[in-house]
Structure 1
Amino acid sequence: MHEVTSATDKRKTAKYIIGKPAITGANVDEVDLEEVFGQLKAKQEAFSAMQAGEDNADEAVAPLAFTALSDPDTGKVHSLSAELTDDHVKELKDQYGDALVIEKDFPLQMFNAADLFEMSQSPTLSTQNDELKVTLKVLDENDAPVQGVQVDLSGELWSDRQRTNTQGKVTLKLFGETLDSLTELRLKPSSGYWSRLIQSPVFATRDNVVRVTALPASTGAPQADLWGNQTVGNVTMPDGARIRVAVIDSGFADGHPDVSAAGGRGFAEGGDPEEDWKTDDSGHGTHVAGTIGALNNAIGMRGVADRVDIFPLRIFPGASISKLIAAIDAAIELKVDVVNMSLGGANKSDLLQQRMQAARAAGILLIAAAGNSGGDVMFPAAYPEVMAVAAFGKFGTFPNDSFHTRHVTEHVSQDGEFFAAKFTCRGPQIDVCAPGVAIVSTVPGNGFGSNDGTSMAAPHVAGVAAVLLAQSEDIQGMARNQSRSDALFSRVLDACQPLGLSAELQGRGMPVLVPQNAPEDPPVAGDDDAALDTVARLIQRALEAAKKINASA
């Protein structure tokens, strides 16, 4: 007979990252991580032996799962990803003290603002037994049914969510509601169409129809000129070496006709690192990759950078700080020029920051989304080693009844064209801003979708950085070290144009591309701000030139 017990009685484990402090104190002996690795391995082997030979193995300390993370250049272990009990953590701290850094391996999230529009009302128990059934059909502008549309219908007490079938039909059931008590109808197509948001929808008892509007980009239409590209500048990259960009995200829809990858790596548990990156369950990574480098061909759309090699590094689902560290190591190994991270979390990690510093020392520019909470800038964007990107939208670039409308704020640019996105994180860490509302890009299934988020803003900047690097033979010729990444960081900042928003929302402004060797516009007479900007750029370039002369001396 099995005696039922509580799972909480067993020894629980949690995921941790173990490493060394960046600076070891004078009275602290430097720890050997290989020694720690061996210690954990011995405990794991002892537990396995106990399980095999003793009846009371269930009462023993849970087994440890751990992975050594090594520097791709030196091969030395720089940190360990481990699953530990509280007793394990205490034992390590007692043995090594301040010579060892032990951090929780916190999960990370993608910064796609679609998550903000999940069903806001959880079902409330109703005292009524009446069930309201609402049937509707979703059609496009040509009266063709649209399949796979996520339909949310909310009332005062109840909500329901369903997807349209092959005929574009869906039936929603709400308890305790009437046709007069319905509050909101949301339609979120999987791809190809704009979303719709209808407040206080009016339904008939039958034959309800809702229409959705096609996006400007598709594989069956000429290449669209999207507003994000127009805003940061549609510039053809010069011939020469292709720029290498890593996209640390949810993977990549391999085989999409309008975006391709040069290679990648997967970090899913138990998966094949050489194959897993070719899958993208959420579509987030494919959307990001398309914004950076969708092919400049006759269909769909083009990315900001038209001569890039994209390397998807898949850490979602199940993304965590340790997986991000492993992906950064892969980016160093692949010798990429730019890394895009449309992800993050609220928790700071000293060990993650050390790997960011290692990437910068390897000549890599790191770019990250600031976050979508509307609060403080999240990590890794908040690290000084990383270029933090805030998001803005542009009036008139999306339907007035789409989800995108909800991101409009009173923070409007000086020319009245742009607005700071409601969701964007803000603060002194913001370096630049970029288009992040109603961004159309590639999604799995050979399609295109429209998303919002600082996740969408960061890849615009990654694309700009790739173009600027291609235009800068001086930076390309530098050794892959901190000076190289510093120079590209500065080059992106130099390309910024202020929008007239506060610094915590725009940083230096929006980076804008110009064709190579194009003459700079002279300042307008009497325009003191323009003149000061020109002087600042000249001073910055003079400082960079002096730095190069000193480095070569």
Structure 2
Amino acid sequence: MHEVTSRKDRKPTRRFIIGKPASQPAHLQEVDLEALGAELAQRQEKIAAQTVDGAPAAPMAFKAMRDPDSQKIHTLQVELTDAHADELRTRHGEALIIEEDHDLEMFTLSPGIDAFEMSMARELSTQSDELKVTLKVVDENDTPLPKVQVDLAGDLWSDRQVTNTQGKVTLKLFGETLDSLTQLRLKPANGYWSRVIKAPSLAAQNNVVRLTALPVSLEGPQANMWGNETIGNVAMPQGERVRVAVIDSGFADGHPDVVAAGGRGFAEDGDPEEDWKTDDSGHGTHVTGTIGALNNAIGMRGVADKVDIFALRVFPGASISKLMAAIDTAIQLQVDIVNMSLGGPNPSTLLQQRMQAARQAGILLVAAAGNNAGPVMYPAAYPEVMAVAAIGKLGTFPEDSFHARHITPQVSADGTYFAAGFTCRGPEINVCGPGVAIISTVPGDAYVSNDGTSMASPHIAGVAAVLLAQNPQIQAMPRSDARSQSLFQAVLDAAHPLGLPADFEGSGLPLLTGNAPPMPQPGEGEIPSKPPMDGLDTVADLIQKALDAAKLIREQA
């Protein structure tokens, strides 16, 4: 029989992740996650068996996440009321970690994605106030361009429309005149540069706007992207292929210029063996192309030309628990490098523990710093993760494109590069990478130019893949933290300072050469301490340095 309840009796719930601290408090009894999981699962089943106003209650989320090696539960992902979460905290105290399962975001800035603010309500306007403007968008050969997002703004109003198959669009603005228009923006679906025209001189009808094609296409020849050219188009040596996981929005399976070796989806009700082959946003495919687009006669090439890429799809609906599950899969796949062009502002002890587990499995973790021009986001802010900031290069995009808005006064010593205006910055930054006007693959056998630390991070993941292939000594190391740290250090050693503030570039921009880098020596390259140390940590660090120095003196005597 089903217990009948009212919707009014249902308490609001939130998603939580539950696990144990890495160090068990000595004065508390250790929590048995298997037993706690069984308790929570039984509770969720009871709630799901209820009916609400005669209809079955919506099932509440529950999932036990297990370590890939030991198969022991390390985290429980569960939907709870705040009262139940507080009851668990009271019962177990510091022996249990209970955190909210926060959502994560992509770190990309698609040109023109932001809308104009409308400062005048439609109700205050009349039909006599309406300004109607028609225009046609074409390419350099006067071919109409469909699916171009067109924004037109004035002093009081704005409108956004998309061109039809004839490249035409009609925009309606209230309370505006042709003389009060302030900006016209055009964002093509793919294949062309975006465009911004300030104070556009428009007629009421028969306006024509031209867009310039990107310097890359499936027709060939293969184009050389500025990021690759700057980092170094180095062919990877023959040998064991490097395995890279891309935790993102999936992969557009079938693009002729980039392939994936496999993947997994983490949607709640999807097919994990098939979902990864779909990429609704194009973000994951763009990232994948930057890392490993094929070195062929068409399109572009990725930074690393001999890699096996695994697409681990966590978007849409990415969260900390999905990222943890993807990290577990990366460990299971025995990948060498993980790219994470995603994150959020909320730290998580349980997520950091999975980052530590990945490092112990010999995996280098690379993550985008974030795009809100503030402090470095998580997971990039963890010391276990290589945090990547974004730079741009002057002269690599049209001056009237959206990319120009990211230029800042923070310019490199030679005046060539600039710190991207959107990039997160801080002492956690390890290196910087190309992240403005980055052309790469997207679904539909096409190419798009995007901005973001999402674009910078895969450049560095690609650099790490090349360095690993160049250094068989690291590849041959047992899968442990020493292996991942050796590769971490190899990337830092390849970095060249640009003359930007350290908060924007870390050690600098890693550059590739055809020569194998020197093998890091034992004892070198401990993980840089990203957050400032407190007083006790500082004292301990000084003591350790003194002991190390004394040991060295004795050995040399």
So what's the TM-score if we normalise by structure 2?
0.90
For residues 133-175 of structure 1, what are the alpha-carbon distances to aligned partners after superposition, in whole Å with 9 as ceiling and x for unaligned? 1111100011101111111111122211111111111111111
Return the offset for 1:8. 7.4
Given that 1:68 and 1:79 are in contact with CA atoms closer than 8 Å, whether structure 2 keeps it comes out as yes
In the alignment, the residues of structure 2 paired with residue 542 and residue 316 of structure 1 have an alpha-carbon distance, to the nearest angstrom, of: 39
Q: CA RMSD in A?
A: 2.0
Q: Where does residue 332 of structure 2 map in the other structure?
A: 333
SS in 2 for 1:160: strand
Given that 1:198 and 1:401 are in contact with CA atoms closer than 8 Å, whether structure 2 keeps it comes out as yes
CA 545–131 in structure 1, closer or farther in 2 if over 3 Å, else same:
closer
Q: In structure 1, what residue type is equivalent to 2:77?
A: S
Q: In structure 2, what residue type is equivalent to 1:434?
A: G
Q: Where does residue 282 of structure 1 map in the other structure?
A: 281
In the alignment, the residues of structure 1 paired with residue 265 and residue 112 of structure 2 have an alpha-carbon distance, to the nearest angstrom, of: 27
Return the offset for 1:543. 4.7
Return the offset for 1:95. 2.1
SS in 2 for 1:114: coil
Given that 1:40 and 1:64 are in contact with CA atoms closer than 8 Å, whether structure 2 keeps it comes out as no
Return the offset for 1:182. 1.2
Return the offset for 1:201. 1.0
Q: Does 1:169 align with 2:165?
A: no
In the alignment, the residues of structure 1 paired with residue 186 and residue 428 of structure 2 have an alpha-carbon distance, to the nearest angstrom, of: 36
Q: Where does residue 462 of structure 2 map in the other structure?
A: 463
In the alignment, the residues of structure 2 paired with residue 319 and residue 545 of structure 1 have an alpha-carbon distance, to the nearest angstrom, of: 32
Q: Where does residue 533 of structure 1 map in the other structure?
A: none
Larger mean Cα displacement after TM superposition, 95-104 or 438-447:
95-104
In the alignment, the residues of structure 2 paired with residue 18 and residue 543 of structure 1 have an alpha-carbon distance, to the nearest angstrom, of: 35
Q: In structure 1, what residue type is equivalent to 2:120?
A: T
Q: Where does residue 402 of structure 2 map in the other structure?
A: 403
CA 517–366 in structure 1, closer or farther in 2 if over 3 Å, else same:
closer
Larger mean Cα displacement after TM superposition, 8-17 or 67-76:
8-17
Given that 1:17 and 1:81 are in contact with CA atoms closer than 8 Å, whether structure 2 keeps it comes out as yes
Q: Where does residue 128 of structure 1 map in the other structure?
A: 125
Q: In structure 2, what residue type is equivalent to 1:261?
A: A
Q: Does 1:40 align with 2:40?
A: yes
Return the offset for 1:46. 2.5
Q: Where does residue 232 of structure 1 map in the other structure?
A: 231
Given that 1:398 and 1:438 are in contact with CA atoms closer than 8 Å, whether structure 2 keeps it comes out as yes
- Gap runs ≥5 in structure 1: 1-5, 519-536, 547-553
User: Residues 176-325 of structure 1: matches in 2 within 5 Å?
Assistant: 176-325=175-324
Candidates 80, 84, 91, aligned match of 2:87: 91
SS in 1 for 2:34: helix
Q: Does 1:16 align with 2:6?
A: no
Return the offset for 1:381. 0.3
Return the offset for 1:44. 2.0
Given that 1:13 and 1:85 are in contact with CA atoms closer than 8 Å, whether structure 2 keeps it comes out as yes
Q: Where does residue 450 of structure 1 map in the other structure?
A: 449
User: Residues 384-403 of structure 1: matches in 2 within 5 Å?
Assistant: 384-403=383-402
In the alignment, the residues of structure 2 paired with residue 347 and residue 467 of structure 1 have an alpha-carbon distance, to the nearest angstrom, of: 32
SS in 2 for 1:43: helix
CA 109–48 in structure 1, closer or farther in 2 if over 3 Å, else same:
closer
For residues 228-261 of structure 1, what are the alpha-carbon distances to aligned partners after superposition, in whole Å with 9 as ceiling and x for unaligned? 0011110000001110000000110000000000
Q: Where does residue 533 of structure 2 map in the other structure?
A: none
So what's the TM-score if we normalise by structure 1?
0.90
Q: Does 1:71 align with 2:67?
A: yes
Given that 1:50 and 1:57 are in contact with CA atoms closer than 8 Å, whether structure 2 keeps it comes out as no
Q: Where does residue 108 of structure 1 map in the other structure?
A: 104
In the alignment, the residues of structure 2 paired with residue 154 and residue 56 of structure 1 have an alpha-carbon distance, to the nearest angstrom, of: 49
For residues 302-348 of structure 1, what are the alpha-carbon distances to aligned partners after superposition, in whole Å with 9 as ceiling and x for unaligned? 00000000101000000010000000001001100000000000000
Given that 2:388 and 2:433 are in contact with CA atoms closer than 8 Å, whether structure 1 keeps it comes out as yes
Given that 1:465 and 1:488 are in contact with CA atoms closer than 8 Å, whether structure 2 keeps it comes out as yes
SS in 2 for 1:296: coil
Given that 1:290 and 1:303 are in contact with CA atoms closer than 8 Å, whether structure 2 keeps it comes out as yes
Q: Does 1:139 align with 2:138?
A: yes
Percent identical residues? 65
CA 25–415 in structure 1, closer or farther in 2 if over 3 Å, else same:
same
Given that 2:467 and 2:516 are in contact with CA atoms closer than 8 Å, whether structure 1 keeps it comes out as no
User: Residues 337-352 of structure 1: matches in 2 within 5 Å?
Assistant: 337-352=336-351
Given that 2:365 and 2:384 are in contact with CA atoms closer than 8 Å, whether structure 1 keeps it comes out as yes
CA 227–92 in structure 1, closer or farther in 2 if over 3 Å, else same:
same
Return the offset for 1:122. 3.1
For residues 94-142 of structure 1, what are the alpha-carbon distances to aligned partners after superposition, in whole Å with 9 as ceiling and x for unaligned? 2222111110111100010227851131352153312111111100011
SS in 2 for 1:153: strand
Q: Where does residue 479 of structure 2 map in the other structure?
A: 480
Return the offset for 1:87. 2.2
In the alignment, the residues of structure 2 paired with residue 517 and residue 461 of structure 1 have an alpha-carbon distance, to the nearest angstrom, of: 17
Q: In structure 2, what residue type is equivalent to 1:21?
A: P
CA 99–115 in structure 1, closer or farther in 2 if over 3 Å, else same:
farther
CA 269–326 in structure 1, closer or farther in 2 if over 3 Å, else same:
same
Given that 1:470 and 1:476 are in contact with CA atoms closer than 8 Å, whether structure 2 keeps it comes out as yes
Q: Where does residue 549 of structure 1 map in the other structure?
A: none
Q: Where does residue 150 of structure 2 map in the other structure?
A: 151
In the alignment, the residues of structure 2 paired with residue 282 and residue 99 of structure 1 have an alpha-carbon distance, to the nearest angstrom, of: 40
CA 115–97 in structure 1, closer or farther in 2 if over 3 Å, else same:
farther
Given that 1:62 and 1:85 are in contact with CA atoms closer than 8 Å, whether structure 2 keeps it comes out as no
Return the offset for 1:45. 2.6
Q: In structure 2, what residue type is equivalent to 1:309?
A: D
Q: Where does residue 27 of structure 1 map in the other structure?
A: 27
SS in 1 for 2:18: strand
Runs of 4+ in 1 over 6 A off after TM superposition: 6-9, 55-58
For residues 400-446 of structure 1, what are the alpha-carbon distances to aligned partners after superposition, in whole Å with 9 as ceiling and x for unaligned? 00000000000000111100000000000000001000000001100
Given that 2:111 and 2:403 are in contact with CA atoms closer than 8 Å, whether structure 1 keeps it comes out as no
In the alignment, the residues of structure 2 paired with residue 425 and residue 288 of structure 1 have an alpha-carbon distance, to the nearest angstrom, of: 19
